[in-house]
Amino acid sequence: MTEQLQQKVCIVTGGSFGIGSAICQLFANKGYRVFNLDLHAPTPILGEQSSNIQWLQCDVSQINQVQNAMQNVLALSPKVDCLISNAGVHLSANIEQTSEADLDRMFAINVKGAYGAIQGVLPSMVKHQGGSIILMASDQALIAKHNSFAYNLTKSALASMAKTTALDYAMYNIRANAVCPGTIETPLYHTAIDKYLAQSGRDAQEVHAEEAALQPLGRLGQPDEVAQLCYFLASENAQFITGSLQVIDGGYTAQ
């Protein structure tokens, strides 16, 4: 039991691809024991995945699956130092184009998934008087974008969840923050662009260049950069940061 409490533990939802995968790798490389709750098995792009990362198959839209996964984690490691709720899906559609089924699916994965994960780790964090909860929101928690009704709605909800959780659990030394990435080059980004290219027939190189040009820094963000911000927020260097929205968007929302 002593050894279990000595090694820091991080739970990541949606850790098999993109930003989530980068987070799992970074935390594992820093010595954390990482549990990746994802419906799909991880497929690391470069090299072998760290032995410090354990994948638990979990559909975060199903609260009972999240609860079961959390119970499995706590059976292996009773103290959870950090939760990063990263699992999410995107939908490009305005309000008229968004069906009730679309809306239900977006909320089930993006919002209920975070709700279930937070509920799952709080008893352990309260017991051990500390912990860091990080929700993967978006620059769309601060601004609106075209054809992003449901996605924007869910990311705004995550920002609110971070703030209320921060206030409710500050007395237990539990911090909650939301990370708000802008345009990050992930599989989610490429899927959205590929769908647009198929519909428009435009040149891929031109579209990617246009996306980069929209960012004041002139490029897209990278998953590793978001992972580094999450690691900082989980660290002792961020002890006085809670209830915040941490933007990492190349200056997009400053315009």
Q: How confident is the model at residue 224 (pLDDT cuts 50, 70, 90)?
A: very high
**pTM assigned to the model:** 0.94
Instruction: Say what the pLDDT of residue 1 is.
Output: 46
Q: State the Cα–Cα distance between residues 57 and 41, nearest whole angstrom.
A: 7
Which residues, other chains included, contact 157 with Cβ-Cβ below 8 Å and sequence gap of 6+? 107, 110, 111
Q: What is the DSSP letter of 49?
A: P
Residues 82 and 34: their CA atoms lie apart, in Å, by: 9
252's CB contacts (< 8 A; 6+ apart) are 139, 182, 183, 214, 215, 216
Cα–Cα distance for residue pair 10/31, rounded to 1 Å: 10
**Catalytically active residues, by annotation:** 151
Least confident of 43-47, 94-98, 151-155, 229-233: 43-47
pLDDT digits (tens, 9 = 90+) for 177-205: 999 999 999 988 888 899 888 989 999 89
* Per-residue pLDDT reduced to its tens digit, 87-146: 999 999 999 999 999 999 999 999 999 999 999 999 999 999 999 999 999 999 999 999
SS3 37: strand
